[in-house]
Amino acid sequence: MDNTGANPQGIVVPPVEGVAGGGTAYGWNDGGGVHFSNSSPRGSIDPSEVLTSDLVHVWCLPSTANVGPQEIPSRHLEPINLLAARNERESVQIALRPKATWGGSGSAGVVQVQCCDLTSTSGDRLVVGQSITLRRVVSILGVPDALVPLDLPVSQINLAPGETTALWVSIDVPSAQPQGQYEGEFFITAIKAEAESPSQRLGKADRYQLYSELRNCLDIMEPDEGKPLDEVVERAKSVTTSLRRALLSPVFSEFSTDNGPVDMMDEDAISNLTVRVKLNLTVWDFVLPATPSLPAVFGISDTVIEDRFGVEHGSDEWYEALDQHFKWLLHYRISPYFCRWGGNMRVLTYTCPWPADHPKSDEYFSDPRLAAYAVPYSQAVPGAAQDYLQKEIDILRTKSHWKKAYFYLWDEPLNLEQYDMVRSMASKIHTYAPDARVLTTYYCGPSDAPLGPTPFEAFVKVPKFLRPHTQIYCTSEWVLGDREDLAKEIVSELQPENGEEWWTYVCLGPSDPHPNWHIGMRGTQHRAVFWRVWKEGATGFLYWGANCYEKATVPSAEISFRRGLPPGDGVLYYPGEVFSSSHQPVASVRLERILSGLQDLEYLQLYTSRYGRGEGLALLEKTGMYLGPERYTLEHTPIDVMRGEIFNTCRS
């Protein structure tokens, strides 16, 4: 995205079709807070002569706040104080709402946001663009959800009249970052919408001349193998002259002066009219593990990628697209798998699109960030290979990462025929690998062969019915309702001594007020999904889809959620092309809160490893963070209290 000259980052909300709902205001209501006047004549204010604080209200909110366009400020600007372990991401929001109009038609005005590194007293740094990122919160269905990246270290943002804009600041603390107190600032300045920059005024002939100069530099220097030294020197002198002439072109005039290049963070550019947002970060002296303690396996639809991005199944472009999605999601402590749906909810799942004898297979499966991987029952890319399944298993069983492997064959079998298909497929797998783990998701027993007198009793008896053809029994949280004590009945039917595990999942349900990831739910409600998983004692988690929008055939097509599903169900990130020319996926607010929930779980695991599970449960109750699926904090403070308590008692 271009954020210079006359093109400040006034991101247009993408069209959304398919599901009605959502809302526009979250958090504080319109009845309180500070009131503004937009009665000033449009464009009559010169922002270079007025305090930015008189033009824009700036305030900060935690990452669990849903900051919609109609959010009304109810607090003054205060320094941001964050706490983080090493190998952890912490986020906060900066909200901006115009008090007056100083811009052109349709705009309240433009603000410039500048970021600086965070530094410690010992000189260690967290660098902008590497550890520090800035994204704009964009509403989907009227609800703040998409996080569109902004340029760093400087961005220009268009503010709409009478609307609040939220900026999402994230800090990724590297695993080797020294502990300590880090400080930095964000500088927010109301500015005039600049006229065209010199680069925008260049005509085609001027642009072609510049292109020719740069092209000539390459032609002169390539190739130079075997050339006499004096000829190479002459070529270098010629290239130097050409580059100097190119740098003196008007296209670069805004970046240089007679005294050398302009420092984008020069104090002259930060006037006394600027609003300064101070950020303090405490980096603790422990590291969150690279390999997640709890496998969280999330599906990515390969057919959605094929349709939207126009890549043919099995082509080089297809492999590249899947590789990008896989690596991107790993940053969220998620273990991705690709999926393709068949009839009657049979599903082909695979984490690596390449076969087990390909070098990419070891690269994927040996990555310490990957906690679990799906092995396909049949080839992800059809070929002529005989005995494919046996060959894959024979190779993978020789690897140290085989303990991460699982087979996910069928989604939510409903009747005896479907359950028998699971049993048959699992039997074939166990013929080749008796120690293989088969995962089955379910929320009921076979409807045409009841296993008990009531639906729940039949549901609880599924492990006995499927044994020994399933090792990971993955049940819907919807079945439990608000009776988390029922989890004990499920676990009592399992045989952990024989390698059986209990995982859980959410999808359509449970619904409000229970934790889930639907658009429009509270921020703590999103984050609490993994609080619930930890408290109930599950050892893994599955989510059916992260990119399952309706079919589209161009990357930039309107965002359409699948009809019949709650808003946001099955969609945790968006194609970057919907918002800009970027090909990088755009995370949702919900995906960031999923990461935060998984990090919270690591804190609880650390505390439990020191003091026992009973003490961990007591801490959840003492802080008021999570007591049950209908009793969890709606405020952010208990989260930081829990994390601070764990740090104070577990620091080395």
DSSP conformation class of 282: E
H or E segment to which residue 504 belongs: strand 501-506
Per-residue pLDDT tens digits for 140-174: 999 999 999 999 999 999 999 999 999 999 999 99
Q: What is the three-class DSSP state of 130? A: coil
* Token pair listed for 197: 């920059």
For residue 556, CA distances in Å to 69, 139, 384, 458, 573 come to: 24, 17, 36, 46, 14
pLDDT confidence of residue 259: 36
CA nearest 542: which of 556, 551, 530, 560? 530
Band of pLDDT at residue 234, cut at 50, 70 and 90: low
pLDDT at 272 over 90: no
Query: Mean pLDDT across the stretch 568-581?
Result: 95
CA nearest 544: which of 515, 512, 505? 505
Q: Check if the beta carbon of residue 150 is closer than 8 Å to that of residue 108.
A: no
Q: Is 111 exposed, middle or buried (0-12, 13-18, 19+ CB in 10 A)?
A: buried
Length, in residues, of the chain: 652
| 85/489 Cα distance (integer angstroms) | 36
Q: Check if the beta carbon of residue 70 is closer than 8 Å to that of residue 163.
A: yes
Band of pLDDT at residue 266, cut at 50, 70 and 90: very low
Q: Is 270 exposed, middle or buried (0-12, 13-18, 19+ CB in 10 A)?
A: middle
pLDDT confidence of residue 172: 98
pLDDT confidence of residue 384: 61
Per-residue pLDDT tens digits for 589-645: 999 999 999 999 999 999 999 999 999 999 999 999 999 999 999 999 999 999 999
DSSP letters along 297-366, please?
A: EEEEEHHHHHHHHT--TTSHHHHHHHHHHHHHHHTTT-EEEEEEE-GGGBEEEES-SS-TTSHHHHHHHT
Band of pLDDT at residue 386, cut at 50, 70 and 90: confident
Band of pLDDT at residue 18, cut at 50, 70 and 90: very low
pLDDT confidence of residue 342: 87
pLDDT at 485 over 90: no
Query: Mean pLDDT across the stretch 50-62?
Result: 96
Which one is predicted more confidently, 253 or 441? 441
pLDDT confidence of residue 458: 92
pLDDT confidence of residue 265: 44
Q: Which residues of 173-188 are buried (b: 16+ CB within 10 A; e: fewer)?
A: beeebebeebebbbbb
Per-residue pLDDT tens digits for 292-303: 999 999 999 999
pLDDT confidence of residue 193: 78
User: Which stretches of 353-485 are assigned E, i.e. beta strand?
Assistant: 373-374, 405-411, 438-442, 472-476
pLDDT confidence of residue 33: 37
Per-residue pLDDT tens digits for 183-192: 999 999 999 8
Q: Check if the beta carbon of residue 135 is closer than 8 Å to that of residue 49.
A: no
Could you tell me how many helices (H) and strands (E) the chain has, helices first?
17, 29
- Cα diameter, the chain: 94
For residue 481, CA distances in Å to 229, 444, 512, 629, 630 come to: 79, 14, 11, 8, 9
pLDDT at 317 over 50: yes
pLDDT confidence of residue 652: 56
Q: What is the three-class DSSP state of 248? A: coil
DSSP letters along 16-41, please?
A: EES-----S--SS-TTSS------SP
| 454/266 Cα distance (integer angstroms) | 72
pLDDT confidence of residue 216: 64
Query: Mean pLDDT across the stretch 10-39?
Result: 35
Identity at 103, one-letter amino acid code? G
Helix axes 229-247, 204-221, angle to 10 degrees: 160
| 147/67 Cα distance (integer angstroms) | 12
Q: Check if the beta carbon of residue 476 is closer than 8 Å to that of residue 531.
A: no
Band of pLDDT at residue 278, cut at 50, 70 and 90: very high
Identity at 380, one-letter amino acid code? A
pLDDT confidence of residue 226: 64
| 279/273 Cα distance (integer angstroms) | 19
pLDDT at 137 over 70: yes
Query: Mean pLDDT across the stretch 486-513?
Result: 95
pLDDT confidence of residue 240: 67
pLDDT at 418 over 80: yes
pLDDT at 236 over 90: no
| 544/172 Cα distance (integer angstroms) | 27
The pLDDT > 90 percentage for the chain reads 73
pLDDT confidence of residue 44: 79
What are the phi and psi torsion angles at 628 (to 5°)? Answer: 180, 175
* Token pair listed for 210: 């510049």
Residues in CB range of 356: below 8 A, 6 or more apart: 391, 392, 395, 396
pLDDT confidence of residue 25: 27
Q: Check if the beta carbon of residue 604 is closer than 8 Å to that of residue 618.
A: no
Band of pLDDT at residue 495, cut at 50, 70 and 90: very high
Identity at 448, one-letter amino acid code? D
| 602/537 Cα distance (integer angstroms) | 14
Q: What is the three-class DSSP state of 399? A: coil
pLDDT confidence of residue 254: 46
For residue 198, CA distances in Å to 48, 103, 156, 185, 249 come to: 22, 21, 18, 30, 9
pLDDT confidence of residue 478: 94
pLDDT at 431 over 90: yes
pLDDT confidence of residue 449: 87
Beta-strand relationship, 275-287 and 125-126? unpaired
- Of 24-33, 63-72, 458-467, 635-644, the poorest mean pLDDT is in 24-33
Per-residue pLDDT tens digits for 88-116: 999 999 999 999 999 877 889 999 999 99
Q: Taking all residues of the chain, what is their mean pLDDT, rounded to a whole number?
A: 86
pTM of the model: 0.84
Tally Cβ neighbours within 10 Å of residue 407.
24
Rounded to the nearest 10°, the torsion over CA 589, 594, 600, 605 is -170
Tally Cβ neighbours within 10 Å of residue 520.
21
| 429/423 Cα distance (integer angstroms) | 10
pLDDT confidence of residue 212: 60
Q: Check if the beta carbon of residue 485 is closer than 8 Å to that of residue 471.
A: no
* Token pair listed for 461: 């008896």
What are the phi and psi torsion angles at 83 (to 5°)? Answer: -125, 135
Q: What is the three-class DSSP state of 206? A: helix
Which one is predicted more confidently, 19 or 123? 123
pLDDT confidence of residue 292: 98
pLDDT confidence of residue 8: 47
pLDDT confidence of residue 211: 63
Q: Check if the beta carbon of residue 264 is closer than 8 Å to that of residue 114.
A: yes
Distance of CA 403 to the CA centre of its chain: 27
Query: Mean pLDDT across the stretch 389-418?
Result: 97
pLDDT confidence of residue 28: 27
Residues in CB range of 208: below 8 A, 6 or more apart: none
